[in-house]
Chain A
C-alpha cells in the first residue's frame, strides 16, 4: 500500500495531449484505484451472489411444497396455512414500528439536541446496550415481566374501549389470561428495534451541518422550530433507512416472538385476546423442530413468502423515497 501511495501521487493529473477539442482532464489509471474499485464492485456483486444463493435455496426447497398435493402436506393446503402468518407478520411489524419509530426519533433527538452534551455520549451508550441483549432474554423478559405488567392495562382497555365502534375491533375482549398478546409481542419487538433505529438516527442528526442549525436559531427559531427546519429535513433519508433496518429486524425476529406470543392460526385485528395471528418467522421456530419430510419444505416456503413481503415493503419504501434524494451529501 505504501509503495503505490507515493507512486500514485507523484504522477497525478497528467494532461491528455490527444484530446485537443475538449479540455477534459483525465487521471491516469492508478493501480490503487483499480484495486479499490474492483474490490468495491466485487463486494457489491458478492452480496448479490449471496442473496441469489439464499433465494435459490428458498425457491428450490419451496417448490416441492408448492406443487405437492395438499393431502400429502404435513400442515394442509399451503396458502390457507401461510396466509394468517403473512398477515400476522405484517401486523406485528406494523404495530411495533408504530411504537418504535416515534420513540426512536425522540430518543435520537434527545441525545443529539436536548441532553446536556456531556451526558449525551453516555446516554447513547445506554441505549446501544439494548442491542446487546440476546433475543432469548427479550423473550424471557416479555413472558415474566412485561406480560403480567400490562395485563391489567389490557383489562382496562377492553372494559373501556371494547364495546365502542371502530376501537372495538382492536380492543374487544376476552382479555388474555396471561397478557401475552400480539400487542405485548409488538412492544417487545419495538424495544428490540429501538437501538437500531436510534443509533443510526442519532448519528445522522449529529451530522446536520452546524451552519444550518445556527442560521435557523439566528433567525429567532425556537429549538423545536430549528429541529423541524434544519435537522429533520436533513436527516429524513437516513432515518428512513434506519427504519427500514429496524423493520427488517421486526419482520424477521424469530425467538422473541416465538416465546412471547400466544399464537393461533387466525386473521384478526384484535390486540388483547389470547388468539393472535402468528408471524412467519415465529411459526417456523415453533414448527421446525418437529417438521419432517415435506413439512420442512412447507415451512421454508413460508420463509419465501416472508422474503417476498420484505421485498415488497422495501420497494414501496424506495419508491416513496425516490423523490427525496437531494438531501444526500454525496450526490
Chain B
C-alpha cells in the first residue's frame, strides 16, 4: 500500500544501489505474516497488538534493508515516507468507520418524509427533521454572519495594522484563550446573558447563535491570521510601490492571495460549530414544531435533535435511533456541501499559484 507513493524524484541508479519498487509491499507481507505467527505461539494475540508490532517491525526492517542497500540518507527518506503514509492511513480508519456506520444506519430514514415533516404530533415512527434542518441553517448562518466579519477584520488588524503593539499581543493571547472556552461554558454564557435580558429560562435560536459565535470567532481569527501572514511581503510592497492605498492593497491583493486558506478556515469553523451539541442544548433548546423565528421560542437544531432522539427514545427505540442517524447523516452532508462550495470559491477566485 505504500509503494505507490514512494519517491520517484530520487530515481538515480547511476550513483547508488536501489531497492526494487515492490520491496516495501513484499516486506510488509512478510513482516505481518512473521509477527502474527510468532505472536500466535504465545497465545491468541489481539488484532490491534499484531498490527502495532507489525508496523514497528516493518519500519525497522525496511530501514535496515534500505540502509544496507541505499545508504542512510535514503533509508531515512524511505522511513519518513512510510511513516507519513502510515499516518494518513491511520487517520482514514476512524473516518471510514464513522462514515460507514453513519451512512449505513442513516439511510434507513433518509427519505422524503424526513425532509418534509417536523416532529410535531409524531409518536413513534414517521416524522422528520425539517424543523431541525432549518434551525441549524438559521443558527449557524447567524453565527457565521456575526463571527466571520469580526474574525476576519481582527486578523487583518493583527497582521496588517498592529505589528507588535500591546493591543495586538493581548488580542492574540486572548483569542487563544477563547479557543479553550469549553463549548458548554459558551452555551451557559449565552444562556445567562439572554436570561438576564429576556427573563430566566428562555430559549431562542439567537442565543444559540451567540453561543456558537463565541466558539467560532477564535477559530476564524487564528486560521485567518495564519493565512494572511503567509502572503509574501513582496506582494504588499509591490502594491504600495504602485501607489495603491493600504486598504485597497489588503482588499485586492492580500485577501485574494490568501483566499483559499481563508475559505478553508471559515468552512472549518462553520463545520466545527455546526456539529456542536452541548451549547445548543442549553440555549436553542428543542421543540417538535417548526420555528423559523430566531428571536423567540425554542428552535430545534440537528445536533440537538440527534442527541435527544438517541438519548431519550420511546418504545420501541428503533424509529428514534433511525431518525438520529439520519439526522447525523444530513448534518455531515450539509457540511460536505459547504466544503464543496468553499473549495469551489477558492478554486474559482484564488490567483493561480505554482501548485
Contacts and interface: CB of A to CB of B under 8 A. Distances in A.
A and B touch in the complex (CB under 8 A): yes
A16 to B, nearest CB: 16
B248 A254 contact: no
A254 B275 CA distance: 12
B181 A307 contact: yes
B247 A35 contact: yes
Nearest to B48: A153
Interface stretch (B17-25, B83-91, B110-118, B119-127): B83-91
Contacts of B158: 44
A134 B275 contact: yes
Interface of B: 5, 7, 9-10, 45-49, 52, 73-74, 76-77, 79-81, 83-88, 90-92, 94-95, 97-99, 101-102, 149-154, 156-164, 167-168, 170-186, 188-189, 192-193, 214, 217-219, 221-223, 225-233, 236, 243-248, 250-251, 260-261, 264-265, 267-268, 271-272, 274-278, 282, 302-303, 306-307, 310, 328, 331-332, 334-336, 339-340, 343, 354-355
A60 B156 CA distance: 33
Given A43-B154, A330-B229, 10 more contacts: A43-B150, A47-B178, A48-B174, A106-B83, A130-B95, A131-B271, A132-B332, A133-B102, A311-B180, A330-B236
A200 B98 CA distance: 22
Contacts of A152: 46-49
B interface SS class: helix
Given A42-B153, A131-B271, A222-B74, A137 B182 contact: no
Contacts of A156: 45-46, 48-49
A209 B234 CA distance: 12
Contact of B76 (A12, A126, A224, A328): A224
A107 B91 contact: yes
Interface stretch (A72-80, A164-172, A263-271, A314-322): A314-322
A30 B248 CA distance: 11
Contact of A310 (B77, B180, B219): B180
A115 B89 CA distance: 12
Contacts of A9: 243-245, 248
Contacts of A140: 310
B302 A134 contact: yes
B193 A57 contact: yes
B157 A41 contact: yes
B128 to A, nearest CB: 18
A50 interface: yes
B247 A224 contact: no
Interface string A143-170: 0111001101101110000000000000
Contacts of B179: 244-245, 247-249, 252, 310
A114 B171 contact: no
Contact of A245 (B77, B171, B219, B260): B219
Counting chain A CB atoms within 10 Å of each CB, which of B99, B180, B282 scores highest? B180
Interface in A172-226: 191, 194-196, 198-200, 203-204, 206-207, 209-210, 217, 222-225
Given A40-B156, A41-B161, A57-B193, A280 B230 contact: no
B248 A238 contact: no
A61 B191 CA distance: 13
B331 A132 contact: yes
Counting chain B CB atoms within 10 Å of each CB, which of A115, A196, A245 scores highest? A245
Contacts of B160: 40, 330
A251 interface: yes
25 contacts: A30-B247, A33-B245, A41-B167, A47-B150, A50-B214, A51-B178, A106-B86, A107-B84, A107-B87, A114-B5, A125-B343, A129-B95, A134-B276, A134-B331, A134-B332, A191-B95, A203-B230, A210-B354, A223-B10, A238-B226, A251-B182, A254-B278, A285-B278, A300-B188, A311-B177
B184 A128 contact: no
B226 A241 contact: yes
A300 B185 contact: yes
A324 interface: no
Contacts of B248: 5, 8-9, 32
A295 interface: no
A50 B189 CA distance: 11
Contacts of A36: 156, 246-247, 250-251
